[in-house]
Amino acid sequence: MIRPDEIIRSNRKTLAISVDPFGRLIVRAPKRCGEERIFAFIREKEGWILRQKAKMQGAGIYLPPENLNGYELLLLGKKYKIILTDTKRIVVDDENLYLFLPQEKPKEKLVKWIKENAKRIFTAVTKRMAERMQTTFKSVTVTSAKGRWGSCSFNNAIHYSFRLLYAPKEVVDYVVVHELAHTKHKNHSALFWNEVSKFIPDWKEKRAWLKNRGALMEIF
């Protein structure tokens, strides 16, 4: 039997189910709705639930557990298996795709490490692409934004969510080109997309990748 991961009760009058981007089954039910009715409703929708779970799990995106040991973290599109150790600093084994993480305050240290690497990598890519595009920018800042992967201010200060580091290199390139194109065109006009197309001809595929993996914004 399929069991819900969460039951949310409210003043609503009907039952509703959804499968979130991580494959979790969420049930929304009236306050006085009994579990028997809830489980009967789940059995009725079992086929749909299984199809949705398979779809979400196929994307390979999972919420980190409380104990990060063994969790597979995406870094530039590659999955690194986290191993908690007694080391005092984070060590990356690129050959075997292991990330050795200190046991003390692992999440705090990991997020700090991701942000530092995101800043370094995104700054380098932005400088490289700006030279190719023959444009300039004011600065590069890494934020914890969950609403968008990147943005460009009116004075050409560029901001990236540190979570963009989860994406493959070619997707990072697309976001960088997208924001640099805004240094020339402050909208999404035909001229803007023509500029993007010069450097990322398959930008639609890269944009679709980001759209289909919006759940990555919820990791850390």
CB-CB contact of 7 with 16 (8 Å): no
Q: Which CATH architecture has domain 111-218?
A: 2-Layer Sandwich (3.30)
Q: Where are the domains of the chain?
A: 6-58, 111-218
Say yes or no to pLDDT of 59 above 70.
Answer: no
Query: Whose CA is closest to 218, among 120, 168, 141, 144?
Result: 144
* Per-residue b or e along 19-36, where b marks 16 or more CB atoms closer than 10 Å to that residue's CB: bebbbebebbbeeebeee
| Whole-prediction pTM | 0.80
Residue 1 scores a pLDDT above 90:
no
Judged by DSSP in three states, 89 sits in coil
Percent of the chain with pLDDT over 70: 98
Give pLDDT, residue 182: 98
Phi, psi of 20 (to 5 degrees): -75, 175
**HSE-up of residue 125 (Cα within 13 Å, Cβ side):** 25
What average pLDDT does this structure show over 102-116?
95
Beta-bridged to residue 142, according to DSSP, are 160
Strand pairing class (16-19; 91-93): unpaired
DSSP letter, residue 94: T
Which of the four pLDDT bands, split at 50, 70 and 90, describes residue 58? low
Mean pLDDT of 32-61: 85
Kindly report, residue by residue over 119-175, the tens digit of the pLDDT. 999 999 999 999 999 999 999 999 999 989 999 999 999 999 999 999 999 999 999
Give the Cα-Cα-Cα angle 200, 201, 205 (nearest 5 degrees): 85
Which of 55-69, 105-119, 158-172, 193-207 has the weakest average pLDDT? 55-69
Matching residue, tokens 């973290």: 73
Mean pLDDT of 91-101: 96
